[in-house]
Structure 1
């Protein structure tokens, strides 16, 4: 059951004693079956109310809350808005009210404006990845071994390759990445699992809040970096990654960036598989366009390598005595 902003404001008032709503503001959410709104009280207090629109979204919301609660005793507590109250819903499940995230939702273009915000995000990512496993497991998140994750990547790429959807150069590159056993030999860590613009808030030049922990798991830290390495220009990502490494208490996996790049590329295969499974022509065309761009990039790299090899051979011949 979906609710409009007025219904959400009424639920917020019922969940939080003393809250008198006077204004609502929409807040974007990646989940279509979760109603979310910002509420401003007459005393200026700002809260966020979340109401599940289905049983499935109710389960995700409860999982989100369990993880957020487990993070209260970690360095992430400052970016996880605290829960203020609940109210049971007539159709089952419950609505939750939290403190409103400080600032506004992040846009990727914001990260292009300067190094400070990228460095702040790198620091927050490192703190996510250093959450102790016992805290994650206490919240009931799933744990995956490197072998299981590697097998999942193999199966996904094999399916797309068998369907004849990949240019030869892309298929060869992805197969070579999957056959590199050292690349996939890592220690699983706590990850957010679904980082996006909707899940991050910024205030000034820093990340002020992280929400939607329902996809969290103990898995590959590269999965949280993949969308960023694929979206940001190299200089900005390097600044983010430098702050990430500085915040880590131990050294990062020596090939973490390579694996993040690989996962960013594999995400295109997953997108294509989704489009094919749902027979969505727009998604299929979008994914094929991205695969075509990768194929063109690989062809350009091959040409540049051939030119460097030719120039080196020519220079060597010129240096030989006649």
Structure 2
């Protein structure tokens, strides 16, 4: 039975020294209802979020989020144009722990709030660029993953191979993904700090007249050094024509980026999310999830079959082997 918001408020006072709760209200938390959560208001007017994981996956996510928040020092946060929550305290409860964070003000964004050419789309691009411009050294210092292009490519190939082994992925899609994996031009990029779990649900925005600006960002459990395209694939799911282009253009301008293949890799990651959903269904032995994933995969195959604008391959640049890419990156770091 779920705990009431009043019970959660009492736990918050136990977790944070000096917190005197004056009120509380339940809030949604987690993408699949994986947390019991409440917004707690103190007698001093400050606001706090308390969350208790309800699954092993959520508990692992929460633990990773805490490591990331500790890695985001005051100096690192000062480089970001938005607020990041701060760990405030914790208390044991029912074999897990309740964790309290300082509340970050802002309204939750929806994907369709991001309009092409709008203020919010431009702000999203600049916010993501700010993350990717952070120094990579603090990630290594915190013991978080630091991946090379070769490791990133191998991880994607593993997903493709596992999805192929199910026999449920349309052959046209497998060929499309394999072509992308074999096209070394796509993998000539410099890994950056990434949020790693970014989506529209991560964004907190103000209420500006043109859609607002990003004022906060939630969910840092995927923080690492990886492909910057991973933080952009979600915007490709927008139903607003031109929204993704505005975000990516703003991002490229803010970073002064020369990564011409970032959108193609983002598209690949977007498509591989369906493969991951299929693999999750197979692991959970859920016919419902598998059927859903297969239907989406076939829909994707139909949508890209004759659409050359969404090709994942790129054949106008010299092709380099993966070891050549690694050597090039080593020279750049030297």
The question of a shared fold, defined as TM-score above 0.5 by the shorter chain, is answered with: yes
Q: Note if contact 2:5-2:24 (Cα within 8 Å) is conserved in structure 1.
A: no
Q: Note if contact 1:28-1:198 (Cα within 8 Å) is conserved in structure 2.
A: no
Deviation at 1:52, TM superposition (A): 3.9
Query: Does 2:210 align with 1:203?
Result: no
Supply the distance in 1 between the matched residues of 2:61 and 2:283 (Cα, whole angstroms). Answer: 23
Alignment of 1:4-19 (within 5 A): 4-14=4-14, 15-19=16-20
Q: Note if contact 1:230-1:261 (Cα within 8 Å) is conserved in structure 2.
A: no
- Mean CA deviation greater in 133-142 or 256-265: 133-142
Given the superposition, is the C-alpha separation of residues 77 and 230 from structure 1 closer, same or farther in structure 2, using an over 3 Å criterion?
A: closer
Q: Note if contact 1:29-1:36 (Cα within 8 Å) is conserved in structure 2.
A: no
Q: 1:121 aligns with which of 121, 124, 129?
A: 124
Supply the distance in 1 between the matched residues of 2:139 and 2:70 (Cα, whole angstroms). Answer: 10
Given the superposition, is the C-alpha separation of residues 63 and 277 from structure 1 closer, same or farther in structure 2, using an over 3 Å criterion?
A: closer
Q: Note if contact 2:112-2:238 (Cα within 8 Å) is conserved in structure 1.
A: no
Supply the distance in 1 between the matched residues of 2:302 and 2:102 (Cα, whole angstroms). Answer: 47
Cα-to-partner distance string for 1:125-184 (whole Å, 9 max, x where unaligned): 111112211122222211222112211211221232343323332222112111101212
Alpha-carbon RMSD across the aligned residues, in angstroms, is 2.6
User: What runs of 5+ residues in structure 1 fail to find an aligned partner?
Assistant: 303-322
Supply the distance in 2 between the matched residues of 1:164 and 1:90 (Cα, whole angstroms). Answer: 43
Supply the distance in 1 between the matched residues of 2:290 and 2:93 (Cα, whole angstroms). Answer: 40
Deviation at 1:8, TM superposition (A): 1.5
| Residue of structure 2 equivalent to 1:26 | 27
Deviation at 1:219, TM superposition (A): 1.0
Deviation at 1:301, TM superposition (A): 3.0
Cα-to-partner distance string for 1:6-34 (whole Å, 9 max, x where unaligned): 22201222314143232323132136543
Q: 1:81 aligns with which of 72, 81, 85?
A: 85
TM-score, scaled relative to structure 1: 0.83
| Residue of structure 2 equivalent to 1:144 | 147
| Residue of structure 2 equivalent to 1:185 | 188
Deviation at 1:222, TM superposition (A): 0.9
Supply the distance in 2 between the matched residues of 1:61 and 1:77 (Cα, whole angstroms). Answer: 24
Q: 2:112 aligns with which of 84, 109, 112?
A: 109
| Residue of structure 2 equivalent to 1:245 | 252
| Residue of structure 2 equivalent to 1:257 | 263
Given the superposition, is the C-alpha separation of residues 157 and 186 from structure 1 closer, same or farther in structure 2, using an over 3 Å criterion?
A: same
**1:300 alignment partner, SS class:** coil
Deviation at 1:244, TM superposition (A): 1.0
User: What runs of 5+ residues in structure 2 fail to find an aligned partner?
Assistant: 309-334
Alignment of 1:294-309 (within 5 A): 294-301=300-307
Q: Note if contact 1:112-1:236 (Cα within 8 Å) is conserved in structure 2.
A: yes
Q: Note if contact 2:116-2:243 (Cα within 8 Å) is conserved in structure 1.
A: no
Cα-to-partner distance string for 1:89-142 (whole Å, 9 max, x where unaligned): 255665332221212222112114861111111111111112211122222211
**2:178 alignment partner, SS class:** helix
Given the superposition, is the C-alpha separation of residues 21 and 102 from structure 1 closer, same or farther in structure 2, using an over 3 Å criterion?
A: same
Supply the distance in 2 between the matched residues of 1:2 and 1:59 (Cα, whole angstroms). Answer: 20
Q: Note if contact 1:29-1:198 (Cα within 8 Å) is conserved in structure 2.
A: no
**1:61 alignment partner, SS class:** helix
Supply the distance in 2 between the matched residues of 1:135 and 1:110 (Cα, whole angstroms). Answer: 33
Query: Which one has the largest radius of gyration?
Result: 1
Cα-to-partner distance string for 1:185-219 (whole Å, 9 max, x where unaligned): 22211111112343222221112211221122211
| Residue of structure 2 equivalent to 1:218 | 225
